[in-house]
Structure 1
Amino acid sequence: MFSLTQIFVIVLAFNTYYQHDQVVAQGPSAVAPITKHINTAKPLFSVQITSTDFMENESSDSNFLIDIDAPLVFHDCSENWKPYPVPCDEYQCEDVQATYSSKSSQCRPLSKNPILPGWGYCGCPVNVINPVTGSCDRGQLNYDYFLLTASDQGRNPTTSIYHSNPTGLCAPSASFQSYPKDVTGVMTLSSSPYALPADLSSYNMFKKITALCLPSNSSAPGVFLYGAGPYYLLPNSSADIRSYLAYTPLLKRPGSFGYFISVSSIVIKKRSIDIPANATAKLTTTEPYTTLRTDIYNPLVRRFSMVTKRLQPAKPVAPFSLCFSAASTANNTTKSGLKVPDIELNLQGGKKWAISTANSMKQVTKDVACLAFVDGGATSDPAIVIGTFQFEDNFVVFDLENSTFGFSSSLLSKKTSCSNFNFTNSDYPY
């Protein structure tokens, strides 16, 4: 016979098991602000990290485009950077050229180790696909050195600094002409051994866990955290954000350092849209809207149209095909005044990622809002690419310790947002 205390403990353990399907570790983390840029052809997100001259130890804050797919850090090699090139006879050169340099047909063949002016030794040219333009750009492999601020148990930035020196590419300024203002490079947060997370994890204190919280507007920063956590957002400074997360396995895809998950079906108002068994979903930080292969996109649009018959239709606005008349709320041009049913992604392991109105309806003009999903065509591969609009104000975690992807669904339902990290350190003037 169980006592009341024993019954309480059993019930508590049962609830904890089903609410949190992954045991999360505690540990130190690094932190940096994330900015949303809307002054470009498509919204993009950057992280602010201090770059340091390898030779003269001079540092400055730099904004890097966030890319969770790229194999290498990639930055503007301007006069202010003072590069320190990797020689052609170093092991990193052979490794990067063989495995991480782009083999795309649009790339020019690598030149044979030219002698670098002013250095007196041969350099290490590498090709990389520019995530903004899609072009193949040429860079010089470089010894880079970055500084990241520590967080106070996931609550605030502190004065402590973590050093990191992933090998990256130093490229001409012309490669970044289409980038947002003041963004001078690409910071890769992929699973590549030359990405920032791999270098940070070389410090034994860090767990291989990257957390991103993308802001929904450009006026206040979101947050990048690296390490096990905990993580906190205002106004409820006692609630560890990890308690909101569900987890699904991360999938590997040959030839890619990006992150993939399995989506078994899409559910809208209790009606399921089946997904082909061989379909995988790629997670991206460089494309704004979720793209679906045509055989998935068309059923989703038909179902969404049926459950929103009460709404007044509007003429479609490219790249969207389903739009409604809607006035924007509180002068916010990104969130519509509409309320529509959630779009639920059923994921491997039985988890559900609920995409609410804030992440499904895009206010494209003052009076028109559109379903923020795009037809990727009949041969789109991967079949699903989940874009940044669906990430905004969602806390997501790429956990390479456990090969899992953690997600919160919209934080707005928890009365907080990605812009609520407490950047109180004087180094961050937000």
Structure 2
Amino acid sequence: MASSQTLTTLFIFSLLTISYAATDPFKLTKQTNIHFPIRKNQTSLQYYTTFEAGNPQSRTKVDALIDLGAQTVFFDCQPYVSSSYKRAACRSNRCKKALGSVCLWCNSTPRPGCFNNSCGVNAFNPLTGAFAELELGEDTVRVTSSDGHSIRLNYDVPKFQFLCAYLYVNVLYDLPGSNTAKGLVGLARTQVSLVSQISSLFSVAKKFALCIPSDKGLGDIFIGGGPYYMPPRTEDQSLNLSSTLLVINPVRTSPVSAYGEASDDYFINVKTIEIDGKRVSFNSSLLSIDSNGVGGTMISTVVPYTTLHSSIYEPLVKDFVKVAAVDGIKRVASVAPFGACFDAKTAPKTIAGPAVPDIDLVLEGKTIVRFKMYGSNTMVEAKKNVICLAFVDGGAEPRTSIVLGGHQLENRVLEFDLAASKLGFTNSLLILNTTCSQHRQS
């Protein structure tokens, strides 16, 4: 029998081993990824995630808007107090890596977001159009790992770079959330986006997946690849992905990008649009990106409902109304901003939403690839007993012909493989009797 001293030694060694595994950013197994929750603000219809930043003795909880095309991470540093925070000096290598544009000076007492000769990087609020030059800094952030089923371990990740909004609170207006600090996390291809930093720090695949919830439940951001499990289903959803190429728009689409840079937003190549298998007729040249960066199809987590060029929107609505009438779905007065609304009592309910005509985006691929949308993704309840086609007229001269919005992305797994420049996606999870609301993390 082992002595009490030996048992005590083994116990202490076990504690040290567990602690090390939970704090060393390089101990992920092959079947593990990094996970962040997704919440939906039911009023603004925006999606946000939550994380903690700062030294362990004084962490600040941050609610941050999820923006697929944003270049950086930034948040409110007014309530932020951390002894481990370090600002990036102007013209330093870290500053260049983050595309720093100016040198900032501050006459107040030094604190995060207010140091002299610090690196200033442009930040943009896509909800208000406000932008500011914020101080680039770095500190520890806490993240969690997942095996695709549940949350596994917490990790304190040092030297995570972000922008500190202290003097420029206008860039924080209208951002969703309820905790002490509000901010934004960018998921673009830039070196200082959330995805690029986490995948580099943990030496995992440069890919991320979103499972966006439609209700008050918690969805998922997975960084590093699958598996992705959506109980009660037992299959790994990373094995059920259809795929299409991600397209680079050669012209910037963000006001904080430098002239001459390619866009950081994610585009896909839509070939046609079908309603119940029949092609919608419009000028197909609108689906291509021209030499000025105009046209094409962009994916957005910030735009609540898909917006369409008027020349695409009008025939789509016309065809949808015609097919819906044949199916006995009664049209009623429109409710702004939607152009076609219906009596909900004439559209039977199914597990995938109202029984209305399907809308398919036919995408570029080796074979026919369809991004299929059932009633849950095409319709929205505008008021009692009234459902509306959840697409919006984007006008006659929009920069982008189709902006695929959040409502159309909900309750399916979307995997952005940055190394292969490929988008993978599942069909609606609702037809599998599951959703993106998995409550893996509170």
Normalising by structure 2, we get a TM-score of 0.79
CA 269–328 in structure 1, closer or farther in 2 if over 3 Å, else same:
closer
Residue 176 of structure 2, aligned match among 180, 189, 203? 180
Secondary structure, aligned partner of 2:426: strand
C-alpha displacement at 1:80, in angstroms? 2.7
Secondary structure, aligned partner of 2:205: coil
Residue 158 of structure 1, aligned match among 152, 156, 172? 152
CA 320–417 in structure 1, closer or farther in 2 if over 3 Å, else same:
same
C-alpha displacement at 1:342, in angstroms? 0.9
> How does 1:245-394 map onto structure 2 within 5 Å?
245-254=241-250, 255=252, 256-274=263-281, 275-276=284-285, 277-278=287-288, 279-309=295-325, 310-326=328-344, 338-349=354-365, 350-394=368-412
C-alpha displacement at 1:50, in angstroms? 2.2
Contact 2:214 2:411 in 1 (8 A): yes
Secondary structure, aligned partner of 1:201: helix
The equivalent residue for 1:223 is 220
Q: Distance in 1 between matches of 2:425 and 2:276?
A: 21
C-alpha displacement at 1:311, in angstroms? 1.8
The equivalent residue for 1:212 is 210
The equivalent residue for 1:32 is 36
* Residues paired across the two proteins, number: 379
Deviations, residues 294-328 of structure 1 (Å, cap 9, x unaligned): 11111111110110112222211111111112259
Q: Distance in 2 between matches of 1:168 and 1:233?
A: 31
Whichever residue aligns with residue 104 of structure 2, its letter is: N
> How does 1:377-416 map onto structure 2 within 5 Å?
377-416=395-434
Q: Distance in 2 between matches of 1:201 and 1:384?
A: 30
Contact 2:106 2:116 in 1 (8 A): yes
C-alpha displacement at 1:203, in angstroms? 3.7
More deviation in 29-38 or 116-125?
A: 116-125
Normalising by structure 1, we get a TM-score of 0.81
Whichever residue aligns with residue 210 of structure 1, its letter is: F
CA 321–144 in structure 1, closer or farther in 2 if over 3 Å, else same:
farther
The equivalent residue for 2:257 is none
Contact 1:361 1:371 in 2 (8 A): yes
Residue 114 of structure 1, aligned match among 105, 130, 138? 105
Whichever residue aligns with residue 151 of structure 2, its letter is: P
CA 127–233 in structure 1, closer or farther in 2 if over 3 Å, else same:
same
| 2:47 is the alignment partner of 1:45 | yes
The equivalent residue for 2:17 is none
Contact 2:137 2:164 in 1 (8 A): yes
More deviation in 357-366 or 275-284?
A: 275-284
The equivalent residue for 1:107 is none
What are structure 1's unaligned runs of at least 5 residues?
1-24, 102-109
Q: Distance in 2 between matches of 1:169 and 1:60?
A: 14
Report the identity percentage: 31
What are structure 2's unaligned runs of at least 5 residues?
1-28, 253-262, 289-294
| 2:75 is the alignment partner of 1:75 | yes
